[in-house]
Amino acid sequence: MLIYNVTSKVNWNVQQEWLDWMINIHVPEVIATGLFSKHQLVRLQEVDDIDGPTFAVQYYLDSKENYEQYITRFAPVLRAKAVAEWGDNVISFRTLMEVIN
């Protein structure tokens, strides 16, 4: 099993709107691809939040093929939508992790 993790630093001015967008629009669009088995949205604790809180959404995948399909077929459009919606109010980075135990 793999986890596609997207960590985002969100400006305080848009925090609630961004969370609403993530929960009601973006995450459902990602899940609608049919490539992920589950997900969770978390807020990081014990991090510097002077500029805003940090969140991570973790999408669980059953195979590397599903990840590659997501990255090539869906990610570019979904990332472009996020940038268009939030601009520099949200800074994100992505990691792929393998579940060991």
Task: Quick: pLDDT tens for 6-61.
Answer: 999 999 999 999 999 999 999 999 999 999 999 999 999 998 889 999 999 999 99
Between residues 93 and 47, the one the model is more confident about: 93
**Mean pLDDT, range 72-92, rounded to an integer:** 97
- 22 lies in some domain: yes
Per-residue model confidence (pLDDT) at position 19: 98
Residue 17 lies in a domain: yes
Q: Is 101 part of any domain?
A: no
pTM: 0.94
Q: How far apart are CA 59 and CA 49, in angstroms?
A: 24
Task: Quickly list H helices, the chain.
Answer: 15-21, 27-31, 64-69, 75-86
Q: State which residues form the domain around 84.
A: 11-38+66-91
Confidence of residue 101 (pLDDT cuts 50, 70, 90): very high
Confidence of residue 89 (pLDDT cuts 50, 70, 90): very high
pLDDT of residue 7: 98
Residue 85 domain-assigned? yes
Domain count, the chain: 1
- pLDDT for the residue 68: 98
Q: Is residue 18 part of a domain?
A: yes
Residue 15 lies in a domain: yes
6-25 as b/e: b if 16+ CB within 10 A: bbbbbbeebbeebeebbeee
Examine residue 32 and state whether it is found in any structural domain, yes or no.
Answer: yes
